[in-house]
Amino acid sequence: MSVTQKEIANSLGLSQSMVARALKGYPSIAKSTHDKVLATAERMGYTAYSNQSARALIAQRYGKRAATGIIAVILPGAKGDEEVSRFAPYFDGFLNGIERQADDANLDVFLCARRNYRLPRLVQERGVDGILSMLLETRQDEERLNAIQELGLPLVTLDCQWNNCASVMPDSLDGIAKAVEHLVKLGHRRIAYLGFTEETSEYTRESVSDCRLKSFHDAMSRWNQPVDPDSIDTLAKTQSMPEAARAVQRLLRRNGRFTALVCYNDLMAMGAMEQLQAAGIRVPEDVSITGFDDISTEHGCLPALTSVRFSRSDMGRRAVLLLQELIDAEPNKSIQERFPVELVVRDSTAPANT
């Protein structure tokens, strides 16, 4: 006969709810209690599926959906192999944290990395308890999230924000502000910005690209630095090195006098760096460059890129914990969490050469 959470609770003299939270890895449970519950559960032969049949019968009786112990992680639809490979180092950190926290909580992860934008059948049939979705960039990504919300499944967006659902994101405002502050303190006064334009639709959401551009303007204003409209380029349609290279060409044609360049992310910073070097412009002697996300070390970038860093693994863990809260209590709860960031100074920035 299967061991139940109630039996574990009785053997330890704890409440069943505390045992359930300990088994799911809630941070509010003391480590000593968590370890004691796990050890007892293992000794008694409890597994995450021990009560699945009973839970299904009870849920059916009350017109509810039984828990499956599965969460889906949805990556953005891909246009081709190059679209997958360009983000691989970025996703790895998130997935590491997601898988570790899911394992601690006895949850299985259903990874949905597809070339098309259709929702997997398991999600369409609500065969998962909740969904984590990453990187909102295209109208198709938006339509897919809208379909998830229509299913009524708990949803947490990771590294993006969608309508009024829960989200876990790096603090873009603080990150860009730190990059601008670093460059101003190095004596740079002609600072350019390189971003991209996300596709828009009838749905409303906070765009990360708009947020970072706004932060650039705010930070420059805070340091009493004028912003030349010709020193900003957000015409790129994707976060890619080739698009960034073309953007730098446009910047050089319009305003070749900038001594520093703040980039939306590391991929765009690396594309910009390659184009500047190809044009005979030295980095950082002639132009300093900053990125965001801190993945350039995975690409062997030279010179080493100054970038805004945040813990993608910790963000992945927190996203799973937040999703558990929505599954257990408030599926429509809107929580926007911003993770702290730091600026990692490397060789791509130097004092202004004036």
183: which 2 tokens?
């460059």
Which numeric CATH code is attached to 70-170+311-339?
3.40.50.2300
CB 197 within 8 A of CB 205: no
Give the SS3 label for residue 175: helix
- The pLDDT value given to residue 351: 97
Reported as type and span, the H/E element at residue 271 is helix 266-278
* CATH, range 172-310: 3.40.50.2300
Return d(Cα 330, Cα 315) in angstroms, integer. Answer: 20
Radius of gyration of the chain (CA): 23
Phi-psi region of 198 (alpha: psi -120 to 50; beta: other; left: phi over 0): beta
Q: How far is CA 18 from CA 178, 259, 321, in A?
A: 42, 57, 16
Residue spans of the domains in the chain: they are: 5-61, 70-170+311-339, 172-310
Please report the pLDDT score of residue 53 as a whole number.
47
Place of tokens 């109630």: 6
What token pair was written down for 353? 């050469």
- Summarised one tens digit per residue, pLDDT across range 258-287 is 999 999 999 999 999 999 999 999 999 999
CATH superfamily of 5-61: lambda repressor-like DNA-binding domains (1.10.260.40)
Residue whose entry in the numeric block shows the structure tokens 């699945």: 52
* DSSP state letters, 89-113: HHHHHHHHHHHHHHHHTT-EEEEE-
Query: pLDDT value at position 270?
Result: 95
Is-same-fold flag (70-170+311-339; 172-310)? yes
Q: Give, in degrees to the nearest 5, the angle at Cα 297 between 295 and 303.
A: 115
Segments in the chain below pLDDT 50? 52-63, 79-84
What pLDDT score does 58 carry? 45
Q: Kindly report the pTM of this predicted structure.
A: 0.78
